[in-house]
Structure 1
Amino acid sequence: MSPRSPLPLRVQNSRWRRDAAGKVVKDENGTPILEMVCIKRKDNGEWAIPGGMVDPKEHVSATLAREFSEEALNTLDMPEAKRAKTLDAVSSAFHKGEVIYRGYVDDPRNTDNAWMETTVMNFHDDKGDVFGAFELTAGDDAGAVTWVPITPGMPLYASHYDFVKETYKRRTGKNL
């Protein structure tokens, strides 16, 4: 929470909503429906983008895979062999991310002397064949996890909606 604290990261997974035949579903305006993984925080019940703090000497890509795996796949409760296999699959899926935001964030944990800064990465499954292999299961500090459509004004924790709006604009070319 301060300049010397570990950097928090957010990992935003997105995909196009598809019908049973695998065709991209569009809204009433003809815009493809963009979905993202959301977790429901146990501490306050608010929906958020998965993420957490970089551990000492941990590489950012490892943090992204670990935090997503813990919160959205519940790897902490898996047997060691399955956890390692899942982490490998997540790490492979997270090889082409895009930085959505890096810097100061408006966060309820901020104080006059300590504040949150973050990096938000988006990993988009354009063809719908990468993230579908993952069985979402809430774990660690997530009480629930699900794919949700990105919609105007969706209620999200702290400044997460700002990051979602930016992702939506980059993926669809439109503002929320």
Structure 2
Amino acid sequence: MPEWADPDIGSFHPQFNAVDGCVDRTSFEGSYKIENGKPLNPLGRTGVTGRGLLGRWGPNHAADPIVTRWKVDAKGAKMNHAVSKRPILQFVSIKRKDCGEWAIPGGMVDAGEQVSLTLQREFSEEALNSLDAPATERAKTHERITKLFKSSGLQVFKGYVDDPRNTDNAWMETVAVNFHDESGFSLFIVLQTSDL
């Protein structure tokens, strides 16, 4: 069993509906029921019991940064759509190496970690490949990303996620925050996938 995963119920007794040590076992959906020592998915049965492929019994918290900017031309002027005449919004997505599907760069909130840190960490790891870049490039990238993520991000969703890994006793929840790059500084960041 991976070190980040909960053991089987019976071998330990977590505090559900509470912060249990460093692990936040509260749900964004409110209190959830416990039956036979196991948390019950607040949206109902899935047909699969146990923890399944998820790391935690009960809610498994994730963070999804949605980084956007306006499309600009070579002179830096906003480009408008030919038909609607509205500015064209671009967003950062990643192509997952494991399955080839497109996704928003995001990931699991580590035990004891604030969601705001997870948003920046996951974006850096997944979209910027910051773990493999040379030290000077990592420092420049870190400075730019820190500036963007310190701006007032707009929370666009917080709650239960319909995820194929959900079970009767473990489920995904996320916080999705939009960070809009009005200045366009991310134009100077080379994006590439990393740990997927």
- Give the TM-score, by structure 1 length: 0.71
In the alignment, structure 1 segments of 5+ residues that lack a partner are 142-176
1:117 counterpart residue number? 173
Shift of 1:112: 2.3
Q: Distance in 1 between matches of 2:68 and 2:124?
A: 15
User: How many residues of Structure 1 are paired with residues of Structure 2 in the alignment?
Assistant: 140
Q: Distance in 1 between matches of 2:137 and 2:80?
A: 36
SS of 1:44's equivalent in the other structure is coil
Confirm or deny: 8 A CA contact 2:62 2:109 kept in the other structure.
Answer: yes
Higher helix share: 1
Q: Distance in 2 between matches of 1:19 and 1:33?
A: 11
Return closer, same or farther for 1:133/1:110 CA change in 2, 3 Å cut-off: same
For 1:10, the aligned partner's letter is D
Does the alignment pair 1:97 with 2:153?
yes
Q: Distance in 2 between matches of 1:84 and 1:126?
A: 22
2:31 counterpart residue number? none
The percentage of aligned residue pairs carrying the same residue is 51
Confirm or deny: 8 A CA contact 1:12 1:121 kept in the other structure.
Answer: yes
Does the alignment pair 1:43 with 2:98?
yes
SS of 2:116's equivalent in the other structure is helix
1:52 counterpart residue number? 107
Shift of 1:87: 2.8
Q: Distance in 1 between matches of 2:160 and 2:60?
A: 14
Higher RCO structure (Cα 8 Å, ≥6 apart): 1
Shift of 1:133: 2.8
Report the aligned-residue RMSD: 1.9
After TM superposition, the structure 1 = structure 2 runs for residues 1-176 of structure 1, keeping only pairs within 5 Å, are: 1=54, 4=58, 6-27=60-81, 28-79=83-134, 82-95=137-150, 96-128=152-184, 130-141=185-196
Q: Distance in 1 between matches of 2:99 and 2:127?
A: 17
Q: Distance in 2 between matches of 1:5 and 1:104?
A: 9
Q: Distance in 2 between matches of 1:58 and 1:88?
A: 20
4+ residue segments displaced more than 4 Å: 1-6, 79-82
- Give the TM-score, by structure 2 length: 0.65
Q: Distance in 1 between matches of 2:60 and 2:167?
A: 16
Shift of 1:120: 0.3
